[in-house]
Amino acid sequence: MMLASAVRNLSRRSFSTSKAVSAQQLTVRDALNAALDEEMERDEKVFLLGEEVAQYDGAYKVSRGLWKKYGDKRVIDTPITEMGFAGIAVGAAMAGLRPVCEFMTFNFSMQAIDQVINSAAKTFYMSAGTVNVPIVFRGPNGAAAGVAAQHSQCFGAWYSHCPGLKVVSPYDSEDAKGLLKAAIRDPDPVVVLENEMVYGVSYPVSDQVLDKNFVLPIGKAKVMRPGKHITIVTHSKSVETALQAANELAGKGIEAEVINLRSLRPLDSETIFKSVQKTHHLVTVEQGWPQSGIGSEICARIMEHETFFHLDAPIWRVTGVDVPMPYAKTLEAAALPQVPDVVTAVNKVLGVK
């Protein structure tokens, strides 16, 4: 009897059907690649252009195999001239195509910001709604590793400041696939702020995510971890930092609710309000600079809403340090939010010593 019982218990452990065990793994790179492939297959108006996207399969191999499948007309290598190829892409969108314009890094999008803002974002309004600009600007955003000040900046606050743009900031593979597909299908300009540091990271995904019809709504956040003591709102790679901090805090009896914004414009205020009204405490986490940042905007919206009266303590922002990104590895780490920074912020807000 004891042997039979042991075998049954072992069988139950060995053949677990929990979501965590049964979920398939997908890298962010492959999720983005699948999104591009599926949308190019679905709509012949979709095409990709940028530096090294075709014959080299992309600087980060996100466009791997697409040039061989779709050819020169739909996967286009460009010269190193962001203003030039961004302008071509905007013009193509105005003419009815659906370009996906890749910047090798969003730091280089500064060369093309006139096209992104003045040409793409404002045209629908200035044409009284007669000219849509269905374009996607995508590429890695924020800090990478060892590439210093001119290649490490977060542009979430920059682009989400501008009416006429939608701005998404995916974290994991589910975010990457669902949001990029939504961006490509959208009738208006969408900025997709990816993160180079997670391209090669595998995340569990469901069969639903792998389906060709999987699309995430732009403007809707996701509660990554439920909690009752404090809300942590974050986006992009900082979601990982927040989740790690939440795990550490749980060991001390503090249950943090972690919200992955996914979309920076439109910002899902309602999900934040609902959570803060439950937890009565809020910390925001981002890799961008503090002044006029995403955390600042969230603070302002809380202040201007009745949710402010549900707070039991001031909001605390955890951000990148207010300096250009240093090159030295130790200084780079010191310039970005780390798990201890989030834990310290939560403790201060909750009055825990």
- Give tens-digit pLDDT for 121-133: 999 999 999 999 9
Give the CATH number, domain containing residue 265.
3.40.50.920
151 belongs to the catalytic site? yes
12 part of a folded domain: no
What pLDDT does residue 23 have?
74
**322 in the same domain as 228:** yes
| pLDDT tens column, 281-335 | 999 999 999 999 999 999 999 999 999 999 999 999 999 999 999 999 999 999 9
100 part of a folded domain: yes
17 part of a folded domain: no
Question: How many structural domains comprise the chain?
Answer: 2
Q: What's the token pair of residue 36?
A: 């591009």
**95 in the same domain as 42:** yes
Phi then psi for residue 43, to 5 deg, are -135, 115
**155 in the same domain as 74:** yes
What pLDDT does residue 313 have?
98
**264 in the same domain as 153:** no
pTM exceeding 0.95: no
Full domain range(s) for residue 317: 222-350
Strands 202-205, 24-27: pairing kind: antiparallel
266 part of a folded domain: yes
59 part of a folded domain: yes
What mean pLDDT, rounded, does the chain reach? 94
Dump the DSSP string for 180-245.
HHHHHH-SS-EEEEE-GGGTT-EEEE-HHHHSTT--PPTT--EEEE--SSEEEEE-TTHHHHHHHH
| pLDDT tens column, 94-130 | 999 999 999 999 999 999 999 999 999 999 999 999 9
Please identify, among 210, 233, 259, the residue that sits at the C-terminal boundary of a domain.
Answer: 210
Rounded-to-integer distance, Cα 271 and Cα 259, Å: 8
| pLDDT tens column, 23-33 | 799 999 999 99
**279 in the same domain as 188:** no
113 part of a folded domain: yes
Choose the catalytic residue: 38, 39, 51, 82. 82
| Radius of gyration of the CA atoms of the chain, in A | 22
**201 in the same domain as 241:** no
Task: Report which of 224, 171, 212 is spatially closest to residue 28, judged by C-alpha positions.
Answer: 171
What pLDDT does residue 22 have?
58
10 part of a folded domain: no
**230 in the same domain as 206:** no
**260 in the same domain as 147:** no
| pLDDT tens column, 131-177 | 999 999 999 999 999 999 999 999 999 999 999 999 999 999 999 99
Task: Report which of 139, 131, 125, 171 is spatially closest to residue 264, judged by C-alpha positions.
Answer: 171
310 belongs to the catalytic site? no
Choose the catalytic residue: 39, 151, 235, 297. 151
H helix count then E strand count, the chain:
15, 14
| pLDDT tens column, 42-57 | 999 999 999 999 999 9
1 part of a folded domain: no
**34 in the same domain as 147:** yes
What pLDDT does residue 48 have?
98
Please identify, among 210, 237, 257, the residue that sits at the C-terminal boundary of a domain.
Answer: 210
**206 in the same domain as 106:** yes
How long, in residues, is the chain? 353
Please identify, among 175, 210, 245, the residue that sits at the C-terminal boundary of a domain.
Answer: 210
What pLDDT does residue 5 have?
47
Least confident of 3-12, 83-92, 209-218, 229-238: 3-12
